[in-house]
Structure 1
């Protein structure tokens, strides 16, 4: 399986992450996903009163400069990690 297919598969798996997934982890995934699919952040930073969109923008900005392939690989690794943590938490 190629990197693109693996990435798409893990993007689908990310939708099954539990509600308990932290916002920080969700923002990391968001930033990596946007970097992998769009590239460097290309929109103005949202205003201070738009906290949700501003946090998402900052997460994307944090991975600025990563190649598409590197962002895909990091995204896959993060989804695997979160799924493993969720499985471990479910068995305890």
Structure 2
């Protein structure tokens, strides 16, 4: 798969994610998706952008990202696409 194809599929998956009711996705899955998205879209995992690390919500988000920091951006995109497609299928949502 070429990089353009992967980026197109990733963009489509991100758009499709907006169709999934947030309350229907468990919070732990939301954090996994956040971590994958952050890893897929961050140019460098050495740059950390969290305004208030004392905030519990940001701490969970940071942890979710650190759980996937070892994978490449392309692998993060692939996993994100697969999870969004799975969530849409489980909820019978058509894009």
User: TM-score of the superposition, structure 2-length normalised?
Assistant: 0.81
Give the structure 1 partner of residue 13 of structure 2.
10
Moved over 4 A (4+): none
Number of positions where the alignment pairs a residue of Structure 1 with one of Structure 2 = 86
Computed over aligned residues only, the root mean square deviation of the Cα atoms, in angstroms, reads 2.0
CA contact (8 A) 1:32 1:60 kept: yes
**For residues 69 and 44 of structure 1, do their structure 2 counterparts lie closer, same or farther at Cα, with a shift above 3 Å needed?**
closer
Listed one character per residue, the Cα deviations across residues 4-60 of structure 1 (whole Å, up to 9, x for unaligned) are 00000000101111221111111111000000000426327722xx11111111100
Query: Structure 1 stretches of 5 or more lacking a match?
Result: none
Query: Structure 2 stretches of 5 or more lacking a match?
Result: none
Distance 2:68 2:90 in 1: 23
User: TM-score of the superposition, structure 1-length normalised?
Assistant: 0.83
Answering whether residue 40 of structure 2 is matched by residue 36 of structure 1, we say yes
